[in-house]
A and B are shown apart, each in its own frame.
Chain A
Amino acid sequence: QQQVKQSPQSLIVQKGGISIINCAYENTAFDYFPWYQQFPGKGPALLIAIRPDVSEKKEGRFTISFNKSAKQFSLHIMDSQPGDSATYFCAASRPSNTGKLIFGQGTTLQVKP
């Protein structure tokens, strides 16, 4: 029940296309859902995050869609660019004062020019 399942494991998209990465969770106590972006040789960095009281959050070309009843959330990258090529991790956490996150397995995105 603590797991976050992420798919696909890898994704290849043409420049200008839409990249979609999906995550599912079981624990209904989760109340914070961030996405982290990791470039090769670097540590992950926060990209965008959502709370379950909204169904969508958009920041530039990046959008999180959240479906509370289905216990699923997804990351959409519009107008994908070669510079978006990276590994993306979804995560989830319960209310706490420690900040512990449960990470998905990661999706390696390649955007072809």
Chain B
Amino acid sequence: DAGVIQSPRHEVTEMGQEVTLRCKPISGHNSLFWYRQTMMRGLELLIYFNNNVPIDDSGMPEDRFSAKMPNASFSTLKIQPSEPRDSAVYFCASLYGAGAANEQFFGPGTRLTVL
């Protein structure tokens, strides 16, 4: 199994530009999570989906952030317009299970730098 795949691995953009991060979860997994990691705030849950449906987006910082999961094998996190404070490592994770006592598998992350 290839694991959770994220692209791009690194993204450098200028303030005001649109940024789209992509995630392919492990085949068969039914929950998908987007996290943001910074030194100051640690690992923050932004949004998660179950069976392609958004369950909780209360961690999304503001309206500039949006996420979609059009099918079971693909999700995107979009930032429009981007700001320097959005610079962070963004992780996608997936899991299979009918209960929380299941392992979340994390992707390698996308390091975003907004100049």
Contact = CB atoms under 8 A, between A and B. Distances in A.
A97 B43 contact: no
B100 A105 contact: no
Contacts, number: 67
Interface string B76-111: 000000000000000101010111111111111100
A31 B77 CA distance: 30
A102 to B, nearest CB: 8
A98 B42 contact: no
B104 A46 contact: yes
Nearest to A102: B45
Chain A interface size, as a band, is 20 to 34
Given A42-B108, A106-B43, A99 B102 contact: yes
A32 interface: yes
Interface of A: 31-32, 34, 41-46, 49, 51, 89, 93-101, 103-106
